[in-house]
Chain A
Amino acid sequence: MECTVIAETSGNSIHPITAQLVGAASSLGATPIVVVPGGAGAEEAASIDGVSKVISVVGDCFSTFDSGAWASAIASQCSGVVIAGATPIGREVASRVAAKKGIPIIQDATDLAPGITITRPIYSGKAVETSTVSGDCVITLRANAFDAAGSDGSASVNVVDQSADISIAVKEAISKASERLDVSEADIIISGGRGIGQKENFSHLEEVADIIGAAVGASRAVVDEWGMPHSMQVGQTGKTVTPSLYIAVGISGAIQHLAGMRSSKYIVAINKDPDAPIFGVADYGIVATWEEAVPALKSALAAL
């Protein structure tokens, strides 16, 4: 099967998802060509197992993100089934490549089977769609849903000089806003309760939140007793939240707290009491004090 992987780059190197894209292509029996937009990390891409050849497309247009220009520059290198990462850049470039070629695109696949049968979540994960494509198509894959290929390969790297007109000009960079996400809109929330001991210790949760782009929430007990802002309160009389991941630290899991967070997709609980009711709703429970578990969490997340 003819197959092209559009590599995801990150700064001057290849993003780890690229090896997963190759791994997925291999599972379909393909030996893909890897196209590296802008060429960053092309040598790295060549060392991924199962790659037939790397095409490093270099040109001025890759200095600014303009999906139209990028797609114009790389589309002619993409043939057969095109696989990209379901990252913001991957999705957008892949969409334009598909439209340019007049072939369908299926985004955010979590499983592939020869045929090609594609599985992907729809309705924010409330249902799953299985579909089959027979001709050429573009598929983007969810990060970490596929096994990465190894790194013992030694494919050749062809450099292609191909730019395209850019129609987007960056005028001004706005550095990251330091204000924290609100719990009602965050995809990941880490909440603290009375078990955290005192208000000042929330700084440990904030450090974790910074690493994974999470919002910080709180139980009512600490909102009432330590004067944390009410906007942080999760629960019946606070916010009802449904993030992908909710991490409850030192929260017992009173019914009024559960009312606000039990529909989260995944729940992690850290509590020193093995009988705390929060473990009843947790997908992953960790019986430990926060003093031990939170620093471990910080380093494990930072190492990802």
Chain B
Amino acid sequence: MNFKTTTLRPLKFIDGIPVEGTSKGNHMTIAVLLKQVPDTTAKISVNGGRVDENAVSKWSFSPYDEYALEAALQLKESTGGEIVAITAGPARCEKLLRDAAAVGADTLVHVSAENFNEFDSTQVQNLLAAAVQKSSASLIFCGKQAADTNAGSTGPGVAELIGASCVTLVTEVSSEGGGYTATRPSSSGHEKVAVSAPCVFAFDKGVSEMRRPNVRGIMMAKKKPIETWSVGDLGVDIGANGVNIDSHSPPAEKPPGQKFEGAESVSTVVSKLRDEANVI
């Protein structure tokens, strides 16, 4: 399966209206990839072999995406440019785009795919890479992983497909010279790395929480058009699904608590934490 770039024509928006070409010169566009997930505090239940979406009490931004969006807004505030919020998924995701617009996203793109949850990583990345190219963004901000799949393949995968650099587990990005500086963890703490566009920044918990919207932002968000791009509109062949999801199931019941006598048992417990519980 190959990623096709040929049919993509960059689209620009001014006040939400598509404008041909890039008349604004080297006006920077930042795409922020946002995923709508069940709120991390929501109860997850399984019905008919799948996580039951209808039972989800609250949908939210995937938490790391919020840091990405906030960092993108701050970068835009310091250097100018435009923020394109892109989400892929079923119709319910439009709410997420409105929320992004309320805090300052300029253009809203919904890559609509009702069966998005069944897509494999290749399909997801091809779709998002095509959307990123169509938006003509040179910087891509996303979360290090989504709170539903917990995978973390999207940022680096999209970077590969569009031929961009990728820095993951980022906490901060700033513009410096003609390029960008990002802070990421290293074996001895943290490090600042220099990269240039095109680049994907996959965010860990960043330095600033996502800002709260205000009424003005909410009113503007209401009026902002949402560009809906179907798989067909993107002119990309996402191919067949290579991974078949057999089922979702509730996690295995934890074994009943075990009680040990004396400090000698500490090493047993530590091994169990590693091998049985897998938490250290």
Contact = CB atoms under 8 A, between A and B. Distances in A.
B252 A245 contact: no
Interface string A257-268: 000000001101
Interface residues of A, number: 82
A169 B246 contact: no
Nearest to A281: B257
Contacts of B157: 95-96, 98-99, 105
B143 to A, nearest CB: 13
Q: Is the interface of B mostly helix, strand, loop or mixed?
A: mixed
A98 B255 CA distance: 36
| Chain B, interface residues (CB within 8 Å), range | 35 or more
Contacts of B265: 286, 288
B44 A177 contact: no
A246 to B, nearest CB: 10
Contacts of A117: 246
A197 to B, nearest CB: 16
Given A98-B121, A122-B51, A128-B250, A168 B165 contact: yes
Interface string B46-60: 100001000000000
Contact of A288 (B44, B160, B263, B273): B263
Contacts of B3: 102
Contacts, number: 254
Interface in A117-165: 117, 121-135, 137, 142-145
Interface stretch (B14-22, B70-78, B192-200): B192-200
Contact of A285 (B167, B259, B270, B274): B259
Nearest to A266: B277
Contacts of B91: none
Given A171-B194, A286-B263, 13 more contacts: A68-B165, A94-B153, A98-B153, A107-B152, A132-B244, A137-B242, A167-B195, A167-B199, A168-B195, A169-B194, A174-B192, A285-B257, A289-B263
Top 5 closest A-B pairs, CB basis?
Answer: A292-B263, A99-B160, A176-B189, A296-B266, A95-B156
Interface of A: 11, 66-68, 71, 88, 91-96, 98-100, 102-108, 110, 117, 121-135, 137, 142-145, 167-177, 185, 188, 212, 244-245, 265-266, 268, 274, 279-289, 292-293, 296-297, 300-301, 304
